[in-house]
Structure formats: C-alpha cells, structure tokens
A and B are shown apart, each in its own frame.
Chain A
Amino acid sequence: MDFGFILSQSLTQAIGVTAIIYCIAAIGLNIQFGYGGLLNFGQVAFVAVGAYAVGVTVVEVGSSLWLGVAFAVIIAIGLALLLGIPTLRLRADYLAIVTIAASEILRFLAKSADFLGGSQGVTGSIGTEFYDLNPLPEWDRFELGPLSFSRVDMWLVMTGWTFIAIMTLLTWLLMRSPWGRMVKGIREDEDAVRSLGKNTYLRKLQVLMLGGVFAAFAGVFSAVSKGSVQPDGFVPDFTFFLYVMLILGGTARVAGPLLGAAIFWFLLVFVEQVLKEGVANDVITFISVTQIGPIRFILVGIGLMLLMIFRPQGILGDRKELMLDAR
C-alpha cells in the first residue's frame, strides 16, 4: 500500500474545497448552537439559499456574481427572520422542528421550481468573475509539501481559508464581548438572562441571522467552486455532518469548526483510500469495492462513538466544563 499517496490525498481533502464549505457553515452553526444554544437543524437551508442566490443571479439572470452574493446575504437574513420570529419566543425545540422542516421544504421547492432549474439545478460558469481575480502564475500544479493543487483549486483554497480566518476572528471578537457573554448566558438559562433585564429574543434573532449568513457564504463558495447548484446536495445529512464536525472539534470553541471539518474530511478520505488500496491489493478480501462507500461511514461512525466515550468534550473542549451540569 502506498501510504504516502493515501496521506497526501487525505490531507488535500482536509484543507480542500469541500472541507472549506463545511467549515464555513460550521462556524455559523457554532455561533448558533455552540455559543447560543439554538438548535438549528436546518443549517443546510441557509447554505442552499447562498448557493441558489449566486447560481440563479449569474446563470439564469445573467447578472453579476457580486450582486448574487448580496442577494445571498439578504435572503439568508430573511430566512432567519422567517424561521426565528415565530419560534424563538417558544421553547427551544420548536426552532429545531421548524428549521429541519424548512430545509426539506426548500429543497423540494427548488426541485420543482423551473426558474431554480428543477431537479437538474443550475449549472454554468457561476464563478467566472471570481476566477478572473486569480493572481496566481499560470502553472499547472501548485505543490505544497505533500499537497498538490491545480491553479483554480489553489485560488479557492487560499481565499477559502482567508475567509475562514476572518470569520473565526469575528467570532472571537464577538464572543469575548458583553454581547457574546449574553449569548452564552442565553444558552445556559434564558430566563435568568431575561431576569437581568436583557432582551434575549433580539439576541437570538441576531445569532440566527449571523450564523445563517455564514452558511450562505458556504453556499456561495460551493456554487462558485463546483460551477453548479444541485438541490440534492442540500439534504439534512449536510446539517448533521456539521454537528459531527462541531462536536468533534469542540463546541463553543473558536477553532472547533476548523479542526472538526479538517479532521472529519481527513478521516473520511483516509479510511476510504485505505480500504480501496486494501481491496485492490487483495489485502482486504471480505469486502468489495462497491461496499467501501458505506463501510467508511460505519468506521468513521465507530471512531466518533469512541471519541464521545473517551473525549465527549471534543478535541478542543474542556471536560470540566462539560461535566458541570452533570451533578
């Protein structure tokens, strides 16, 4: 087995475009769920909104990508208000039900709406304006130690991680402030915060909007990098992967989503590649190539269960903190 190749493939995925998409959306979810305690089970809806906003604006309308980004932000805020205004005054679980339902409703609407491309989605040169900004020299491959990217991927990875750095910094700035203190207080006990004279409803709306806008950026990044928007890319699994990444990295930790997304994709690709190589070289004989896809999820699932047993606070979490309410 060529472990050098497997490692380089896995590392490339760990910092690659897919990991970036998930990471951006997970940063938003971290603000909502990790810090604010909001059970948003429909984060993928905000990702879809961002992707469709740029996809439709560029391909269907023929307008600018940047206008599409503005729409993505506005529609994400609108969706957050639509979902949040009726539910955030109620018990926490109402938001969970409404968000997961909304994400599925939006997906089916997108599949049946002609101007959104129906079940085919939207395909076209969504990212041209972005790729035109690429300042990199016209080389074939960009080699970074064990990693290797095409010119386009290199540009995506650079901007993606820069964007992640900015959003992480913003999260850190917000969470060290009195606003962040209030948001964390709402997670702990909303009534206590209200009894101290704070308008918790307004803050919860802000948190939902902020996390939703972050997710919309993930959608924009996805549409630009893939050059297409597919409705079936926005299934509920997307949101649950985000939760897995968050818990893996450590919830309510600024760097939790970064580490979580990177490790998640590293493991997924690593396990897949090891199985593939093993089957190809007849080292692993009891499974066939077609079974590798499901089996890697089973193995990663077992790994996550072990993590929950031995390190329930995630990689960056503080166990003492997690155990506080257990007594």
Chain B
Amino acid sequence: MPAEAPLANAAVAALAELTPEPGVAKPDPILRVDSVVRQFGGLRAVDVSHLEVQRGAITALIGPNGAGKSTFFNVISGFDTSDDGSWTYNDEAITNRAPNKLARQGLVRTFQLTKSLSRLSVLDNMLLGAGGQTGESIFPSIFKFTWAKQESQNTKRAMELLGRFNLAQKSADFAGSLSGGQRKLLEMARALMLNPQLVMLDEPMAGVNPALKQSLLDHIRDIREEGTTVMFVEHDMDMVRDVSDWVVVMAQGAIISEGTPGSVMQDQRVIDAYLGAHHDSALTESGQGLTTEEDPA
C-alpha cells in the first residue's frame, strides 16, 4: 500500500531524531505507560516508570529471559492485573481493562505459547477473529439467514489473509495439526482479522524455521505499511535490527534502555544486562555490540 507508506515513514523518521534514553517522549504515542508495577510475591516482575510507543512504527521489546516482557504484555493487554500504575491507549485511560474490550478497541495481542484452537479448523480460528458478528448472539445464531451474509464476507477476508500467510490450503484442517511455525503464522493472521490498531506479538518468531522467519518479517513490515502499530518481543538480534524502528530493552522488570536499533546495541547497560543473564552469549569478539544468537529456551 504505497499510499500509506509515507505515514509510516514519517513516524519512523521522527524516531530517529529522539534522544535514546528510557522513557523518552514520542511525537505521537498510541500507548503511554506510567509507573506500572506487577509483583509476584517478592519479585517485581514488571516495574516500568514511563514508556511511550510511537504510532505507526515497529517497536521491538527485548531483554533476557525472565526480564518481564511477557508479564508486561499481559498487564497492558488486560490478561494480568497490575499492582500499581496506569496506561492509556489512544489517550484513553485503559488501566486494567478487560482483554476482550481492548481487543474490540483494536489493541490485540498474541501469546508466547501459541494459543491456536486445536480442534477448530484453521478457517474457524480465523473467523473467530472477526468482530461484530450477529451470529455470535445466542438467539440469532439459530437462524442462519441472520448471519449467513456476514459469514461469507468474513470467510472471504479470512481466506485472503490465510493466502497471504501461506495457509490457504490448510484452511479446512484442524489448527492442532499445524506445525509450531504455522501456528505462529495462524495466530498472527487471526489477530489481523480484528483490524487492530496496535498488535503486540510475544515472540512471534520463536520456533519458526529461518525461511519462514524471513516471510514473517515481511508480514510485520506489511502490517506497519497498512498503518498498524506493531510491538513485538524477539530474542534474535538480527531480526530486531532488520525490522524494528525502535527498540526497548527490559531487564529485571525495568526499562533500561530505548533507542533506534543501532544505538541500543551499543548501549553499555544493555550489554551488561545480557552478560548478567547469559554468560555464554551476548558480546561479539570486537565488543562492539550484541551477538545475533539468543538461546530460544
């Protein structure tokens, strides 16, 4: 969609001008997070003082295992409850709002452990993502004529998306019969059925083979070109460098660094955080930045 490309480019260009420091204000934030805390017993899994996510850009959230990335996603998307703090989406306060309400408002997330609905067909998985379905109310559902037209429109859209993600020929199969990588693709395609404004992808590329990874990256770029804001968790630094406009680094629940991919990977705090968590990875021989491999465990 070339017509919308300049919009994304503008958002991206604006980011390059910013000072790379934790909590830096963005020109047009879609998400604004303030002093969010999530504690598990004595463990402060998330302790984010301030974060803004730029609209129209691809933001990567990185950090060692156990840094609190998934918990942060869970809290923001309503699947977990924060102990403290507040956050806004499109300037509307959405603190601890139910996840289904947020999804209907266009804030959609995927899960680190894929949640494909195994004993539903791939197509049914997709159709479940479509919003505003008359047939999802119990009484109209009995009478097919009340929802048949909507269903066929949704099916058309679902098949288009499945085609884009190379899953069209699998549409009639049980989702449980897909490979791990295909499930990741399905979950992403399904999220797009909601026409999201902000998608939060938790490790969308974990367990996906390298060839498929490349096409996933293309999909993520496509999503941005369509005007959707993307935030994603990823361990593979090559991928992060390749696709993201902005990188946020978490360690021990807090955001320790923010910036463009280039600047973040030179940040001493980031290098230390990774060294602290993983003695066997993290630095290149030259000491210039982070290595590309992170164990997927």
Contact = CB atoms under 8 A, between A and B. Distances in A.
A309 interface: no
A285 interface: no
Interface in B106-141: 108-111, 115-120, 124, 127-129, 131, 133-138, 141
Contact of A178 (B100, B119, B127, B190): B127
A192 B100 contact: no
Interface string A284-298: 000000000000000
A203 B269 CA distance: 48
Contact of B176 (A181, A194, A198, A324): A324
B104 interface: yes
Given A185-B128, A193-B128, A196-B129, A178 B117 contact: no
Interface string A168-198: 0010011011111110110111011111111
A198 B108 CA distance: 12
B165 interface: no
B78 to A, nearest CB: 8
A191 B109 CA distance: 11
B124 A181 contact: yes
> Chain B interface: which size bin?
35 or more
Contacts of B142: 170, 173-174, 177
B115 A191 contact: yes
A188 B117 contact: yes
A120 interface: no
A189 B190 CA distance: 14
Interface residues of A, number: 31
B67 to A, nearest CB: 22
B135 A179 contact: yes
Contact of B99 (A185, A195, A325): A195
Contacts, number: 111
B282 interface: no
Given A174-B138, A198-B128, A324-B177, A188 B118 contact: yes
A196 B124 CA distance: 12
Contacts of A180: 141
B174 to A, nearest CB: 6
A179 B109 CA distance: 22
Contacts of B117: 184-185, 188-189, 192-193
Interface in B15-47: none
A207 to B, nearest CB: 9
B114 to A, nearest CB: 9
Contacts of A187: 119
Nearest to B139: A179
A123 interface: no
B267 interface: no
Interface in B79-100: 79, 98-100
Contacts of A193: 117, 128
B149 interface: no
A199 interface: yes
Contact of A177 (B118, B119, B135, B193): B135
A246 to B, nearest CB: 16
Nearest to B129: A196
A185 B136 CA distance: 12
Nearest to A178: B135
A325 B109 CA distance: 23
27 contacts: A173-B142, A174-B141, A177-B144, A178-B127, A178-B135, A178-B147, A178-B151, A179-B135, A179-B138, A179-B141, A181-B120, A184-B119, A184-B124, A185-B120, A187-B119, A188-B117, A189-B115, A189-B117, A192-B115, A194-B79, A194-B100, A196-B103, A196-B128, A199-B100, A321-B119, A321-B174, A324-B174
Interface of A: 170, 173-174, 176-182, 184-185, 187-189, 191-200, 206, 210, 320-321, 324-325
Interface of B: 77, 79, 98-101, 103-104, 108-111, 115-120, 124, 127-129, 131, 133-138, 141-142, 144, 147, 151, 174, 176-177, 190-191, 193-194
Given A181-B120, A196-B194, 15 more contacts: A170-B142, A176-B144, A177-B144, A188-B117, A189-B117, A192-B111, A194-B79, A195-B103, A196-B100, A196-B103, A196-B128, A197-B103, A197-B104, A198-B136, A321-B174
